[in-house]
Amino acid sequence: MWKQAITVPAPYDFAHALARLALDPLLAVDLERQRITVPLHLDDVKVPVVVESIGTKDAPRFIVSGPHPERQQEIIERISYLFQWWTPLGPIHEHFRRTKLAPLFAEYEGMPLVLVFDLYFCLVKCLIHQQLHLKVGYRLTERFVKTFGEERDGVWFYPRPEEVAARSYDDLRAVQLSGRKAEYIVDVSRIIADGKLRLDELKQMEDGEVMERLTAVRGIGPWTVQNFLLFGLGRPNVFPPADIGLQRAVEQLFQLPKRPTASELAALGERWKPYASYAALYLWRSIE
């Protein structure tokens, strides 16, 4: 096992990040010790990596530890990317201090946008969560991973596209996914396994290009792509106006007489450019 200390730019509040991650029953989060064990897939190697906070919001510092010392630098780079350690949050908070979201950004100051730990699984998770309450989505996702994934030392590793591609629609229906979602997930897994869709290539594309590429796949709509852009690719300026949670959060925060429509929410999202993703993140957090 190797260990490496990392100091990142302030503000960065790991406690806020972990509180949000702890909502997911699949993740190995220890709130008391301020640590999480991350299930990384490095090619075909499953690597559990421990990330532990030893600093504060205003002096953030971490210890990263794991196996495979020959891949230490690669692991550090991946962890840094997933936890967005090199995205300065100061300018983002300064931007929102001049908006109606200022109270939220004061309450959750330093909360980063943490990405889903695997790009393929992010897409699958977005498909599972379509049109579902958050808790129901988490429950179905947990059932999916515990059926088709693998547990090692108390950490759940997500199934790979090749493994899901080999499954039948009925296999996925058996974990209580709807017939349509079972088809969408198996089909997109087969496309990825066959090399017809290369998710890593999407990292180099503009948001609009990613939207065009993914919505061409059966079952993937704008909401799914927006969430994939946000939590898979870490894009800073994405705001899903049709998201029921965001509509409810805006209704509560602004004490509106009724829930805003998607078009009304899209207009609000325009005001929060170029950091609309953080507006969405903090609004979601306000109702979780």
Q: What is the pLDDT of residues 16-44, one digit of tens each?
A: 999 999 999 999 999 999 999 999 999 88
pLDDT in tens, 241-267: 999 999 999 999 999 999 999 999 999
H-run or E-run covering 152: strand 150-152
Report which of 60, 73, 70 is spatially closest to residue 4, judged by C-alpha positions.
73
User: What is the three-class DSSP state of 6?
Assistant: strand
**How confident is the model at residue 250, as a pLDDT?**
96
Between vectors from CA 241 to CA 243 and to CA 175, what angle results, nearest 5°?
Answer: 25
Residues in the chain: 288
Q: Structure pTM? A: 0.95
Residue 249: per-residue pLDDT: 96
Q: Is 30 a catalytic residue?
A: no
Cβ atoms of 205 and 197 closer than 8 Å: no
Q: Is the pLDDT reported for residue 134 higher than 90? A: no
Dist. CA 21–CA 270, nearest whole Å: 27
Q: What are the φ/ψ torsions at residue 155 (nearest 5 degrees)?
A: -120, 130
**Cα 128 from Cα 225, distance rounded (Å):** 13
Q: Could you give the CA distance from residue 167 to residue 137 in angstroms, rounded to a whole number? A: 21
Rounded distance, CA 233 to CA 203, Å?
A: 6
